[in-house]
């Protein structure tokens, strides 16, 4: 484990030990789904780790985390309803499948991104691909990879983190 | 009302599971969680409290939340930690009563699983000293099985994870002087005075 990983673990453990319960409660109430709440909590921690490393922990750390978590939940809810609208639209053959610019990656970054993805450790790359490209549940990813759902989730998390560290996701 | 309380409990269990799974996934911390909280504005300053399923495992004098949290993250490096501001209400209640002078003895389960060997024996001997009484470092070392290990006893007491409830403040030097105290000597003095103890009353 590299120094960066130890550092990352300590910082994230601190955030979880301090704000974990209230953030999880907040997210769960917004999205009404345990799995999604966990995903969004992890996403919030990733963003927090990056931003707080840059900004330093201040008195408004808690408020900041709440804002990030709330936005993550609202985005998820919006994406889900957009998906539904898109399906409706498709059924009506109206041709509008939702805005094209909500990809997390700029088009310019795309080639570079796939290079980075290809460079990920194999299990992380596989787990990430199954999650993002095939949109599988963690249990399904686990079944395909022959590991536990938690291990699958951990692999996706580490993959996203590596891409984030490189400023791509 | 009771149905509502049940649904609140169910929510808390689900929320806790989300955090514990996230701890495991993101930081590799697993096992039984510890619940922690702060108790501010006591006569001896701010106290940090943490408990496992087995009982109170940490009671420290703390400058602020961050210091206490870092201490917990270090000492319990493998365990998930949950910040439950309203947790440990029984410990809080008994401490309130202690500070108000309504009771000087505690009826709390204490978890000393981070301590072992001679140190553990020293703390167990210390836990038996009633309020109002004091022992010397040599006395407590003897009760722990080695009268000549008073220095080691001093170290064990200095590293006592559960201050006040395991009353390491009730140990003095043989000449009746205060010796040391992790929370600072003014606090040791305050506690002894509050309990009505004098150096003469060696137990």
In B, minimum Cα distance to A26 occurs at B15
- What ipTM does this complex have? 0.86
Q: Does B82 touch chain A (CB under 8 A)?
A: yes
Confidence bin at A91 (pLDDT 50/70/90) = low
How high is the pLDDT of residue A55?
61
Inter-chain CB pairs, A–B, below 8 Å: 80
Rounded CA-CA distance B110/B58 in Å is 9
DSSP state of B198: -
Q: Tens digits of per-residue pLDDT, B97-110?
A: 999 999 999 999 99
Instruction: Decide: pTM greater than 0.80.
Output: no
Rounded CA-CA distance B33/A31 in Å is 25
Q: Tens digits of per-residue pLDDT, A130-167?
A: 788 777 788 888 877 778 888 999 988 888 888 877 66
Which residues of chain B neighbour A160 with C-beta distances below 8 Å? none
What is the percent of chain A where pLDDT is above 70? Answer: 72
Q: Is the domain A105-169 a CATH 1.20.1050.10 member?
A: no
A54-63, A98-107, A112-121: least confident range: A98-107
Which residues of chain A neighbour B83 with C-beta distances below 8 Å? 17-22
A82–chain B nearest CA distance, Å: 26
Q: Does A9 touch chain B (CB under 8 A)?
A: yes
Which residues of chain A neighbour B23 with C-beta distances below 8 Å? 13, 16, 20
Burial class (CB in 10 A: 0-12, 13-18, 19+), A32: exposed
What H or E segment, with its residue span, contains residue B90?
Answer: helix B89-99
Which residues of chain B neighbour A24 with C-beta distances below 8 Å? 15-16, 18-19, 22
How high is the pLDDT of residue A95?
42
Bin B115: left if φ > 0, else alpha if -120 < ψ < 50, else beta: beta
- Contact indicator for A142, A123 with CB cutoff of 8 Å: no
Q: Which of A14, A41, A154 is facing B73, going by the closest CB pair?
A: A14
Give me the mean pLDDT over the A23-33 stretch. Answer: 93
Confidence bin at B88 (pLDDT 50/70/90) = very high
Give me the mean pLDDT over the A51-55 stretch. Answer: 69
**A8 Cβ neighbours under 8 A, 6+ residues apart:** A49, A161
Give me the mean pLDDT over the B68-87 stretch. Answer: 92
Strand partners, B45: B42
**Cβ contacts of A4-8, under 8 Å, gap ≥ 24:** A4/A165, A8/A49, A8/A161
Q: Does A6 touch chain B (CB under 8 A)?
A: no
Mutation site for B-interface testing, chosen from A12, A15, A17 by largest number of B Cβ within 10 Å: A17
- Contact indicator for A106, A161 with CB cutoff of 8 Å: no
Mutation site for A-interface testing, chosen from B16, B25, B76 by largest number of A Cβ within 10 Å: B25
Strand partners, B81: B34
DSSP state of B60: E
Instruction: Give me the DSSP letters along chain B.
Output: -HHHHHHHHHHHHHHHHHHHHHIIIII---SS-EEEEEEEEETTEEEEEEE-SSSEEEEEE-SSHHHHHHHHHHHTTTS-EEE-TT--HHHHHHHHHHHTTS-SS----B--TT--HHHHHHHHHHHTSPTT-BEEHHHHHHHTT-TT-HHHHHHHHHT-SBTTTS-GGGEE-TTS-----TT-HHHHHHHHHHTT--TT-B-
CB contact under 8 A, B22 and A18: no
Q: Tens digits of per-residue pLDDT, A13-27?
A: 999 999 999 999 999
Q: Does A45 touch chain B (CB under 8 A)?
A: yes
Active site residue B57: no
Q: Which of A13, A27, A45 is facing B73, going by the closest CB pair?
A: A13
- Contact indicator for B111, B54 with CB cutoff of 8 Å: yes
Helix A138-145 to helix A122-132 angle, to the nearest 10 degrees? Answer: 140
How high is the pLDDT of residue A4?
52
Mutation site for B-interface testing, chosen from A6, A10, A12, A13 by largest number of B Cβ within 10 Å: A13
Domains and CATH numbers, chain B: 31-99 (3.30.160.70), 117-194 (1.10.10.10)
Q: For tokens 């930690």, what's the residue? A: B81
In B, minimum Cα distance to A157 occurs at B26
DSSP state of A109: G
Instruction: Give me the DSSP letters along A14-43.
Output: HHHHHHHHHHHHHHHHHH--HHHHHHHHHH
- Contact indicator for B27, A16 with CB cutoff of 8 Å: yes
Which residues of chain B neighbour A16 with C-beta distances below 8 Å? 19, 22-23, 26-27, 80-81
Give the CA dihedral A25, A30, A34, A38, nearest 10 degrees: -70
In B, minimum Cα distance to A11 occurs at B27
Domain A1-102, CATH class in plain words: mainly alpha
Query: Residues spanned by CATH 1.10.10.10 within chain A?
Result: 105-169
Query: Residues spanned by CATH 1.10.1740.10 within chain A?
Result: 1-102
């Amino acid at each position: 484990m590299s120094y960066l990983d130890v550092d990352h673990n300590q910082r994230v453990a601190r955030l979880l030990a301090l704000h974990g319960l209230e953030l999880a409660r907040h997210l769960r109430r917004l999205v009404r789904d345990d799995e999604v709440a966990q995903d969004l909590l992890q996403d919030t921690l990733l963003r927090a780790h990056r931003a707080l490393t840059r900004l330093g922990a201040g008195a408004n750390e808690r408020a900041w985390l709440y804002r990030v978590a709330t936005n993550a939940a609202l985005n998820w809810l919006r994406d889900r309803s957009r998906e539904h609208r898109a399906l409706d639209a498709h059924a009506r053959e109206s041709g509008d499948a939702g805005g094209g610019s909500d990809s997390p990656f700029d088009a310019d970054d795309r080639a570079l991104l796939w290079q980075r993805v290809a460079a990920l450790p194999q299990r992380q790359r596989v787990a990430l691909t199954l999650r993002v490209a095939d949109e599988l549940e963690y249990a399904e990813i686990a079944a395909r990879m022959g590991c536990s759902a938690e291990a699958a989730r951990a692999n996706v998390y580490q993959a996203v983190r590596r891409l984030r560290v490189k400023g791509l996701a | 009302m009771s149905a509502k309380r049940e649904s609140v409990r169910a929510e808390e269990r689900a929320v806790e599971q989300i955090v514990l799974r996230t701890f495991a996934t993101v930081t590799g911390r697993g096992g039984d969680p510890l619940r922690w909280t702060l108790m501010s504005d006591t006569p001896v300053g701010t106290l940090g409290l943490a408990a496992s399923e087995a009982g109170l495992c940490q009671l420290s004098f703390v400058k602020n939340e961050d210091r206490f949290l870092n201490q917990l993250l270090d000492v319990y490096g493998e365990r998930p930690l949950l910040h439950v501001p309203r947790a440990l209400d029984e410990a809080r209640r008994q401490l309130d009563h202690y500070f108000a002078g309504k009771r000087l003895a505690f009826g709390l389960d204490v978890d000393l699983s981070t301590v072992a060997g001679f140190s553990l024996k020293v703390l167990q001997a210390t836990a038996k000293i009633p309020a109002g009484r004091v022992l010397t470092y040599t006395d407590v070392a003897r009760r722990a099985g080695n009268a000549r290990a008073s220095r080691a006893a001093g170290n064990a007491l200095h590293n006592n994870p559960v201050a006040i409830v395991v009353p390491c403040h009730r140990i003095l030097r043989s000449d009746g002087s205060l010796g040391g105290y992790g929370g600072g000597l003014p606090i040791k003095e305050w506690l002894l005075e509050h309990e009505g103890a004098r150096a003469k009353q060696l137990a």
